[in-house]
Amino acid sequence: MMNTKLNGLFCPESVAVIGASNSFDKLGYHVMKSLVEGRYAGRIFPVNPRGGEIWGLSSHASLGAIPEPVDLAVIAVPAKFVPETLHECGKKRVKGVVMITAGFREIEDSKGEALQEEIGRIARTYDLPVIGPNTFGFVNLTFGVNASFTPEFSRLNKGGIALVSQSGGFCHLCGFLAMDQRMGMSKLMSLGNRLNVGFPELLHHLVEEDEATRVITLYIEGLDDPRELLDAAKALRGRKHIIAYKSGKSEKGDSASRFHTGSLAGDYQIWQGALRQAGMLEVVSAEQMIDVAKALDVCAPLKGPRIAVLSGQAGPGLIAADSVEKAGLQLARFSQKTQEIINRILPPIAIRSNPVDMGPAWYDAKSSLEILQAALEDEGTDGVIFIAMFASANVGLAKSLAEHLRTAPAFNKPVVGVFTAPRGVWDKEIAQMDGAGGISIVPTPERAGALMGDLFRANRLVNRV
Amino acid sequence: MMNTKLNGLFCPESVAVIGASNSFDKLGYHVMKSLVEGRYAGRIFPVNPRGGEIWGLSSHASLGAIPEPVDLAVIAVPAKFVPETLHECGKKRVKGVVMITAGFREIEDSKGEALQEEIGRIARTYDLPVIGPNTFGFVNLTFGVNASFTPEFSRLNKGGIALVSQSGGFCHLCGFLAMDQRMGMSKLMSLGNRLNVGFPELLHHLVEEDEATRVITLYIEGLDDPRELLDAAKALRGRKHIIAYKSGKSEKGDSASRFHTGSLAGDYQIWQGALRQAGMLEVVSAEQMIDVAKALDVCAPLKGPRIAVLSGQAGPGLIAADSVEKAGLQLARFSQKTQEIINRILPPIAIRSNPVDMGPAWYDAKSSLEILQAALEDEGTDGVIFIAMFASANVGLAKSLAEHLRTAPAFNKPVVGVFTAPRGVWDKEIAQMDGAGGISIVPTPERAGALMGDLFRANRLVNRV
């Protein structure tokens, strides 16, 4: 376990890019772009034996030629040069390595396996933590360093969610969806072939050393020794939410997984039970992962199964009500007091029992919020789904809601919002509302109901109920 | 059955807006906006007893005062004025009515039920087809008329998909998702309380009279006589795809549905079986509805269960492979010829069996397309999922793919694409690719696999296999 050293790797005061380049075709170009355009505040040292300026910075012929200490070395040179480079890293006493280079254990050629064993021995010699090989790198949004070949990840919102993935492709899928859904992240990384830093080390680091991370998401294809991960999760249980996505479920997928990151996927059913027993919340899609991680980060916990659905339009409210029951939860029964408040605000042309059709209040943020407040204060309600579809006549609704929410105290129960509009119409308002006062926004009423089910499961898992 | 008259309603040469207004607070304002800003090519007659110009057009004191024929009357006046207005529509011999006004059968007050019966009698007297009451209206994108209170629907892409909904809110949800996913639509409408135009009439109209519509989507809450819909679907079976979304599944939802559009939802399990037996494809979310409708409109039919997964990154390919098997389909086994082509193009560092990791070809649209072509020509493959996540280094890929696809002949098997990127990066290219050559794009690999399952079910349902 190397977790005590991971802070140096993830929060480096200086970064050397070995294989830095001005040529678009080289990954070292894109890593330099990530650091420079991502406004990394530490020192950046491009390393390239050809010399000259790279991305406007003087390059160094080798790591050893850099006259200052280097905390993080990003390696993006061909595989055959990696052993020598790793020796240099050890001699330079870097605190950690990101090894982007591929062509090790994951390739068909047995030379890859041998090369990975060799670099494993070198890393052990110097006690060097290595992310990779065969990784796109990592982004630490909290610290402000993008040590990856994808500069666009610097655009992610800062927040409490860390993603640790066995696949770089999944990080890209999830990272872009996260941008679209305004999810705030702390760290994002792919572990690649996991030379000596794997899921257990990351779990310890994220739970014990990383205060900014409140929710941990894992994408797992297959592991040689799943017990290490499960034991780590069990040992840390109850401290932070851990969400796990297991792929390689099918026989064919299993064989693909083995080739991809060099390990067997194992039996999916066994995985499901084991994840649950270790207190991890299993999800089955990237969209579900994002919905639940985001809500766990910003909402109050869902402590019971009774959900109120308040919708500006009856149809989407009905759909949300269906999805609440499909998720195994119940529609709350309002107290007399709550019902009286709703009846006072809404005329009898509306459906005033749960799911509430707030139609007549849909132009009026104040009335909508009064109903929301009444539903939240009802002792028979554990969480609320709050829906409004855009229409030309209610265009001002989102702005008023956003203004009210900006200064409102945080809700004491989870509120999941659905505000659907043509792109460009409510984008700014939705971005302002998302997270404000503990409301988390999803794209559809079906996902709102499913999310409530996940929030309820997550609360039970983390509290060992 | 009034279906023979619906073309006049949906393709009007002139439209009168009764209750037209310059005041933002009135729905008649937004209907005028839809017609004017939606560049409706026919004549528009605002009707308002106050007189003056409305949206730049001279208004008329009553429908009868309009000196020319009127094909469509849009009614947006308070409920108490509707009987009189409907008499005027009959005398004016309009071809159809859109009744936006609410406050009839759907309200708690029994006066609403009585008023609906009254207007039903009036409509029968004049043999007037009425969409509504309690509707947001309709949009006919093929003909270029937006007769709704939501001007933004004029932005929808034209295409082959019609949506007939029992809820206006669902039309807004689905319409905005459709814009986001570049789905091409022919017609979009909510039926509201279905005074005399319901699902059976619409099915006949869309199958028999509307050539632009290739796929019909229905959103159903509850019907007094579901058999009429089921019989219509059975009678028309095999001519166009019909996709149905049934809400009001739960007990509570059922009661909400009864209030919302005035009918009982019925037992969901019975519905499921009945929809299938009538040849309709059941979907359970708005996102699923959009994914499958769009693909049925643009892709070749999926005639068998054997799917090839070609992915620029191994992880998302693995996820798609899982989702294919979860959907009840199989991963295709490549012929020797196909495998040789793949092995020639990809070096041994990639996974070259299905799911194929096209990693080394991900900068290279030509190689990717060669592999796609080989997979499509393989007799053991019935459909292909084609995936590429954006990375800084492959930014040019989507542009090259779009250029190749622009002039390529249509694929003879369905191709489902997943091209995920930060917003703004590949938007234009994804829009160009979506639909080109028979490729349909979805946001995630999970949805690609699930979609293939739906395409297979749809093909069997429409062909009574």
pLDDT band at B269 (very low <50, low <70, confident <90, very high): confident
Cross-chain Cβ contact B247/A312 below 8 Å = no
Cross-chain Cβ contact B390/A321 below 8 Å = no
Q: Scanning every residue of chain B, which has its alpha carbon at the shortest distance from the alpha carbon of A311?
A: B169
**Shortest Cα distance, chain A CAs vs residue B68, angstroms:** 30
Cα dihedral A20→A21→A25→A31 (10° resolution): 40
Whole-angstrom CA distances from B245 to A70, A460, B166, B207, B290 are: 59, 32, 10, 18, 11
Fold of A1-134: Rossmann fold (3.40.50)
pLDDT of residue A266: 55
Give the best residue of A164, A252, A325 to mutate against chain B (max B CB count within 10 A): A252
Residue position matching structure tokens 């494993």: A120
Question: To 10 degrees, what angle do helices B286-298 and B445-462 make?
Answer: 60
Pick from B284, B315, B322: CB nearest A250: B322
Taking the domains of chain A in order of start, what are their residue ranges? 1-134, 156-298, 299-462
**Contacts of residue B355 in chain A, CB cutoff 8 Å?**
252-253, 256
Measured over the CA atoms of residue B290, residue B296, residue B302 and residue B303, the dihedral's sign is positive
DSSP state of A415: E
pLDDT, tens only, B78-88: 999 999 999 99
Q: What single-letter amino acid sits at B367?
A: S
Residue A368: φ, ψ to 5°: -60, -45
Give the best residue of A389, A390, A430 to mutate against chain B (max B CB count within 10 A): A389
Nearest Cα to Cα of residue A239 among A204, A192, A289, A266:
A204
pLDDT, tens only, B224-256: 889 999 999 999 999 999 999 999 887 554 455
Provide CB contacts within 8 A for A203, sequence distance 6+.
Answer: A216, A229, A232, A233, A236, A242
For chain B, percent of residues with pLDDT exceeding 90: 85
* Residue B249: alpha-carbon gap to chain centroid: 21
d(CA B45, CA A36): 60
pLDDT of residue B257: 53
d(CA A113, CA A193): 11
Q: Do domains B1-133 and B299-462 have the same CATH topology?
A: yes
**Contacts of residue A312 in chain B, CB cutoff 8 Å?**
169
Residue position matching structure tokens 């690649």: A192
pLDDT of residue B259: 47
**Contacts of residue A176 in chain B, CB cutoff 8 Å?**
389-390, 420-422
Nearest Cα to Cα of residue A71 among A143, A124, A152:
A143
pLDDT at B363 over 80: no
Q: Scanning every residue of chain B, which has its alpha carbon at the shortest distance from the alpha carbon of A251?
A: B322
Q: Scanning every residue of chain B, which has its alpha carbon at the shortest distance from the alpha carbon of A179?
A: B422
d(CA B130, CA B120): 9
Tokens encoding A143: 């610290």
Cα dihedral A201→A205→A206→A207 (10° resolution): 100
Provide CB contacts within 8 A for A456, sequence distance 6+.
Answer: A302, A304, A305, A327, A328, A329
* Three-state secondary structure call for residue B250: coil
pLDDT, tens only, B272-298: 999 999 999 999 999 999 999 999 999
CB A381 within 8 A of CB A308: yes
Q: How crowded is the C-beta side of A117, counted as CA atoms within 13 Å?
A: 5
Longest dimension (CA), chain A: 79
Query: How buried is residue A92: exposed, middle or buried, by Cβ count under 10 Å (0-12/13-18/19+)?
Result: middle
**Contacts of residue A321 in chain B, CB cutoff 8 Å?**
250, 252-253, 256
Cross-chain Cβ contact A256/B321 below 8 Å = yes
Cross-chain Cβ contact B170/A319 below 8 Å = yes
Nearest Cα to Cα of residue B327 among B352, B278, B292:
B292
Cross-chain Cβ contact B420/A177 below 8 Å = yes
Tokens encoding B449: 């696999």
Q: Which CATH architecture has domain B1-133?
A: 3-Layer(aba) Sandwich (3.40)
Q: Helices in A195-335 by DSSP H: which ranges?
A: 199-204, 226-236, 251-261, 268-277, 286-298, 314-326
CB B28 within 8 A of CB B76: yes
pLDDT of residue B334: 97
Cross-chain Cβ contact B319/A172 below 8 Å = no
* CATH number assigned to the domain covering A156-298: 3.40.50.261
Q: What single-letter amino acid sits at B400?
A: S
**Shortest Cα distance, chain B CAs vs residue A91, angstroms:** 31
- DSSP bridge partners of B60: B47
Cis peptide before B355 (omega within 30 of 0): yes
Q: B276-311 b/e with 16+ CB inside 10 Å = b?
A: eebbbbbbbbbbbbbbbbbbbbbbbbbbbbbbbbbb
Query: If residue B447 lies in a helix (H) or strand (E), which one and from where to where?
Result: helix B445-462
pLDDT at B133 over 90: yes
Longest dimension (CA), chain B: 79
Cross-chain Cβ contact B172/A314 below 8 Å = no
**Shortest Cα distance, chain B CAs vs residue A12, angstroms:** 23
Nearest Cα to Cα of residue A202 among A410, A7, A428, A454:
A7
Which DSSP string do the residues of A24-45 spell out, in sequence order?
A: TTSHHHHHHHHHHHTT--SEEE
**Shortest Cα distance, chain B CAs vs residue A446, angstroms:** 6
Q: In a structure prediction context, what are the per-residue pLDDT tens digits for chain A, which is 465 residues long?
A: 454 679 999 999 999 999 999 999 999 999 999 999 999 999 999 999 999 999 999 999 999 999 999 999 999 999 999 999 999 999 999 999 999 998 888 877 788 899 999 999 999 999 999 999 999 999 999 999 999 999 999 999 999 999 999 999 999 999 999 999 999 999 999 999 999 999 999 999 999 999 999 999 999 998 888 999 999 999 999 999 999 999 988 755 445 554 455 454 458 888 999 999 999 999 999 999 999 999 999 999 999 999 999 999 999 999 999 999 999 999 999 999 999 999 999 987 677 899 999 887 777 889 999 999 999 999 999 999 999 999 999 999 999 999 999 888 899 999 999 999 999 999 999 999 999 999 999 999 999 999 999 999 999 999 986
CB A354 within 8 A of CB A333: yes
pLDDT of residue A348: 75
Apex A115 CA angle, A114 and A121, nearest 5: 95
**Contacts of residue B108 in chain A, CB cutoff 8 Å?**
348-349
Provide CB contacts within 8 A for B382, sequence distance 6+.
Answer: B302, B303, B304, B305, B306, B307, B332, B413
Q: Scanning every residue of chain B, which has its alpha carbon at the shortest distance from the alpha carbon of A326?
A: B250
**Shortest Cα distance, chain A CAs vs residue B93, angstroms:** 30
Cross-chain Cβ contact A321/B30 below 8 Å = no
pLDDT of residue A107: 78
Cross-chain Cβ contact A315/B285 below 8 Å = no
d(CA B459, CA B465): 8
d(CA B455, CA B465): 13
**Shortest Cα distance, chain B CAs vs residue A107, angstroms:** 4
Q: Radius of gyration over alpha carbons of chain A, in Å?
A: 25
Q: A412-443 b/e with 16+ CB inside 10 Å = b?
A: ebbbbbbbbbbeebbeebbebbbbbbbbbbbb
- DSSP bridge partners of A458: none
CATH of A299-462, one of 3.30.420.40, 3.50.50.60, 3.20.20.70, 3.40.50.261: 3.40.50.261
CB pairs under 8 A between A and B: 262
Residue position matching structure tokens 């009026």: A364
**Shortest Cα distance, chain A CAs vs residue B295, angstroms:** 20
What rounded mean pLDDT belongs to chain B? 93
Cross-chain Cβ contact B318/A445 below 8 Å = no
